[in-house]
Amino acid sequence: MQPIFDQVTDDLGILYGGDYNPEQWDPAVWREDARLMREAGVNLVTVGVFSWARYEPEPGVRDFAWMDEVLDLLHAHGIAVDLATPTASPPPWLGVDHPDTLPVDRDGVRLVPGSRNQFSPSSRVYRAAALAITRDLAARYATHPAVRMWHVGNEYGQVDHGEEAAREFRRWLRERYGTVDGLNAAWGTTFWSQRYRSFDDVLPPRRTPYLVNPTQSLDFRRFTSDELLACYREQRDAIRAAGVTVPVTTNFMGFFALADYWAWAGEVDVVADDQYPDLADPRSPADSALVQDLMRGLGDGAPWMLMEQAAGATSWREHNLPRTPERLRLDSLQAVARGADGVCFFQWRASTVGAERFHSAMLPHAGVDTRVHRGVQRLGADLARLRPVAGTRVPARTALLFDWESWWAAEEPGRVTERLRTLDQVRAFYRPLWDRGVAVDVVRPGASLDAYDLVVVPQTYVLDDAAEAALRKAAARGAGVVVGPMTGVADGNAHVVPGRFPARVADLAGASGEEWVALPDAGVAVAAEPGPWAELPGGGRATVHGELLRADDATVLATFAEGYLAGLPAVTRRDPEGPGGSVWYVGTVLDEPLLGAVLADALARCAIEPAVPGAVAAGGVEAVVRGDAVFLLNRSDTARTVAVPGRWTDLLTGRDVADAVTLPAHDAAVLTPAKSS
């Protein structure tokens, strides 16, 4: 997927711009916009995301003339276009004339027009109408010189539980299982008398008297992701069929629950993502870093695009804190550091109408003489200077496993504790790595781990053959493996694997368990055993979830100090005699310092250093190496001096740096080796 997107950034450099919705403005404003975009350093805008009702005011009618003018104008100003198919928001007439295009929720309520996204991905009428407008758009603009990318739909995430979905779900199940007996076995319908006599009797999960069959629910999630992907693919294929040779993509949403992006990633020419960090959350920089490492991982290390972010505040949270220009700059540089070759926004000009009238934009209501717009102009200039970074890769020796199907299966209700959440675990295991400045790749379970010296498995509830084999191979080669709670519990049908857990890898861990245990609300004390740690932590606390474990062939690093599990292992480490890496097993939810100590132990034993040791020593400085560039982001409120042995040039300022650089509070540097004169 690499080369086709590289051609765009080879020409344009780091992409910079945002969604542009010209249908909300008069042509005179378009001309002003094109000029102001240039002045802000914008080189790419996404147009037409919500233009369906304008293109097709009545069924079958077409009005593209205004878009001709917009594209020609942008092209004349040297601004490239990422042209969207407008299929995320059908015109109201589609739902009025064809109610079966409208999605039905779990409770049987049919959603109505008046917002956006009101379509069923399974609706034949919707699919045909979406394809028809896409074909006409592609035929008209396939070779327009402004159009350098195509953007299918927007944030795919619709779900339908109605009759259209039921029909397609049954088709999907027939393909998956072949026979209804196969479905009955997979779904475990012996439980609660759920045996189906025919596929025709099967329904999507709707409102039921009590808990829904967990495998039915898991399969419906798989189906929903596949159905959305089918919508994407047929539009992409129509675009290609019209002769388009530039990249085609759609925008992902990080750890979004309704689409399995591992399945999607191979279908886009560049991974693109929308990111809106919660500015009220002090850990949001670490959480954004994780999402960005996921985006890089989805593309197998290739450059990705930050497709949308907010220039200031969002408007969809209950209380939307502002994003300072300094924070915007640091977060944008963070994305580039972690592999993004595009930094774009929702949206260019702030809307005065509609549901998002208070969402910030690159050009606020108050115009150019504003704090937000000055920040946008500065960022445009910064990104232009980072052109040499485009196309380069981020090296990492640590892998962190994450997978949608496991996440889905793990969170079906009816379990020991609903407070154990996969994403919480993924974030908790990632944060100590981020704090220690370690580069991490997010990897799909089952993918090759050959490039890694440490593999972190926060919670992979479903561990299949391929995932098990990859872990064994990595450990046998000498890589360290850190396994978190509730890993390897179930098979691909979400059936619990009987025996001691973690099923399949208990021998690798040298520890095994017999009972999952919800911990009291206050948590329990955990004692760190003296001796075996790289850095001996003090004691700590465990909350939410514990496991009744036995150390079969492992050293106990920490022990539950009270309660139901008192005296039993909470954390173990197996150090195999002879070849092979150490394996840590964390059978609970540890507090941050203690989990940090476990990961520090793993990093030390695997000899994994921070990407920039001087940044960790300085404190508060996020540091990432990409290609030969060193990104230093001072996220603290005071100036920090970072040791960087050698001679460098700061791409942002052009100044020379030798051995150390001082960054004012909330400032950044991007160092590349100085050219010897």
CB of 32 to ligand GLA, least distance (A): 22
CB of 279 to ligand GLA, least distance (A): 13
What sign for the dihedral angle of Cα 307, 311, 313, 316?
Answer: negative
Q: Which residue has the tokens 């400032």?
A: 667
> Could you tell me which of 573, 560, 578 has the C-alpha nearest to residue 511?
573
C-beta separation of 132 from 235 below 8 A: no
CB of 359 to ligand GLA, least distance (A): 5
Q: Give DSSP secondary structure letters for 470-494.
A: HHHHHHHHT-EEEE-SS-S-B-TTS
- Closer to ligand GLA by Cβ: residue 295 or 671: 295
CB of 356 to ligand GLA, least distance (A): 6
CB of 259 to ligand GLA, least distance (A): 14
CB of 314 to ligand GLA, least distance (A): 5
- Closer to ligand GLA by Cβ: residue 346 or 516: 346
Question: Is residue 412 at the binding interface for ligand GLA, with CB under 6 A as the rule?
Answer: no
Q: What share of the chain is helix, strand, coil (3-state, %, to 5)?
A: 35, 20, 45
Q: Does residue 109 sit in helix, strand or coil?
A: coil
DSSP state of 412: -
Length of the chain equals: 677
- Closer to ligand GLA by Cβ: residue 86 or 502: 86
d(CA 551, CA 584): 11
130 token code pair: 């979406």
Three-point CA angle 174, 179, 180, nearest 5°: 90
- Closer to ligand GLA by Cβ: residue 159 or 629: 159
Close Cβ partners of 498 (under 8 Å, ≥ 6 residues apart): none
d(CA 416, CA 553): 27
CB of 340 to ligand GLA, least distance (A): 15
338 token code pair: 């972690």
Q: Which of residues 571-630 bind ligand GLA (CB under 6 A)?
A: none
- Closer to ligand GLA by Cβ: residue 23 or 553: 23
DSSP state of 375: H
C-beta separation of 304 from 341 below 8 A: yes
Question: Is residue 504 at the binding interface for ligand GLA, with CB under 6 A as the rule?
Answer: no
- Tell me whether residue 155 is one of the annotated catalytic residues: yes
- Closer to ligand GLA by Cβ: residue 192 or 316: 316
- Closer to ligand GLA by Cβ: residue 50 or 516: 50
Query: What is the contact mask toward ligand GLA in residues 297 to 336, using x (rule: CB under 6 A)?
Result: -----------x-x---x-x--------------------
> Could you tell me which of 625, 577, 651 has the C-alpha nearest to residue 384?
651
C-beta separation of 149 from 251 below 8 A: no
> Could you tell me which of 527, 541, 399, 379 has the C-alpha nearest to residue 470?
399
Task: Select which of 155, 227, 547, 622 is catalytic.
Answer: 155
Q: Which of residues 147-186 bind ligand GLA (CB under 6 A)?
A: 154-155
Q: Which of residues 71-100 bind ligand GLA (CB under 6 A)?
A: none
Q: Give DSSP secondary structure letters for 547-607.
A: EEEEESSSEEEEEE-SGGGTTSEEEEEE--SSSS--EEEE-EEE-HHHHHHHHHHHHHHTT
What is the CB-side half-sphere exposure of residue 522 using CA atoms within 13 A?
4
Close Cβ partners of 208 (under 8 Å, ≥ 6 residues apart): none
d(CA 430, CA 608): 15
- Closer to ligand GLA by Cβ: residue 171 or 357: 357
CB of 229 to ligand GLA, least distance (A): 18
Q: Does residue 295 sit in helix, strand or coil?
A: helix
Task: Select which of 308, 405, 547, 622 is catalytic.
Answer: 308
- Closer to ligand GLA by Cβ: residue 134 or 314: 314
Question: Is residue 359 at the binding interface for ligand GLA, with CB under 6 A as the rule?
Answer: yes
Q: Which residue has the tokens 């479905």?
A: 183
Kindly report the number of other CB atoms within 10 A of residue 31's CB atom: 13
Three-point CA angle 403, 283, 532, nearest 5°: 75
Residue 260 main-chain phi, psi, to 5 deg: -85, 95
CB of 152 to ligand GLA, least distance (A): 13
- Closer to ligand GLA by Cβ: residue 219 or 308: 308
- Closer to ligand GLA by Cβ: residue 130 or 511: 130
**Residues in binding contact with ligand GLA, number by CB under 6 A:** 11
When binding is defined by CB under 6 A, the residue of 30, 172, 276, 407 that contacts ligand GLA is 276
CB of 94 to ligand GLA, least distance (A): 19
- Tell me whether residue 168 is one of the annotated catalytic residues: no
C-beta separation of 458 from 425 below 8 A: yes
Residue 624 main-chain phi, psi, to 5 deg: -140, 140
229 token code pair: 């992907």
CB of 319 to ligand GLA, least distance (A): 15
d(CA 28, CA 39): 17
When binding is defined by CB under 6 A, the residue of 105, 356, 591, 667 that contacts ligand GLA is 356
Instruction: Summarize as ranges the residues that interact with ligand GLA (CB under 6 A).
Output: 154-155, 274, 276, 308, 310, 314, 316, 346, 356, 359
Q: Catalytic positions, please?
A: 155, 308
